Structure formats: structure tokens, C-alpha cells
Amino acid sequence: MADLLQRGMAWLEAKRTKFMTQLVVYQRGSDTVEVPATIGETVFNIDDGGGALLRIESRDYLICAADMVLGEIPILPKRGDRIRETSSDQTYVYEVVGPGDEPCWRWSDGYRTTMRIHTKQVDMEEVT
């Protein structure tokens, strides 16, 4: 018998992907793939070493691991990759990065089906 929780998570993941995503472009160098992503955020509190906490907000993209394929090769996110999100007449460009010593991505579920990718905005382009 399959794990009931795993089946439930798969059902939820299918609903999230169908009803709570928009298409974005994941880019590594000149390679790109269009993937459905749910947009979220994470707030990090980073100790600056001098007794102050820095509050850093990350724009996050939840993407199915099965969709993360570049040139027919499955990939994991890495610092410096880009995510391009188009909204009406603007394309917002986000760089994959984790603040301080934080990783730039993590698994969003216990079954390693969805990645939560942390980013920061680095550019904005007009759509022509």
C-alpha cells in the first residue's frame, strides 16, 4: 500500500500546479525552460555579526522538480541562474540567490517533488 500522506501531497501538488501557477522562464546561461511556478516569499533574519539583525525578503518560486530540465538534463537550482517573470508590459528578472550563508533553494515538501527557489530582483525590461 502506498504512503497515504505521499498520495495526498501528490494530489495537492497537482492542484497547486493547475490552479496556482503562472509561467516563468528559468534560465542558466543561454539555456532556458518555461515552467509553471507559484510565487511566494521568505523573510530571512540574518545576524550581521555586530549585534543587529538584517531583515531580508526573498521572492520565491515554487517549481516542480520534474519541470526543471535544461537541454534534456534534470537540474537543481544554483546561484546566478535567472528567473524571468512577465507581467503585462514588463519582464522582471530575478537572480537565484540565498542571503548570507543561506542556501539559494530548498525542498518544499518531504517527498522532494517541489523546490522553493529564493531570488532577488536584478533587472526589469519592457516587453516589445
pLDDT, one tens digit per residue, over 7-35 is 888 898 889 989 999 999 999 999 999 99
Please give the single-letter amino acid code of residue 106: R
Distance from C-alpha of 29 to C-alpha of 99, rounded to nearest angstrom:
22
Specify which residues 57 forms β-bridges with: 43
Specify which residues 53 forms β-bridges with: 47
- Residue 1's pLDDT is 47
Query: Low-confidence residues of the chain, pLDDT below 70?
Result: 1-2
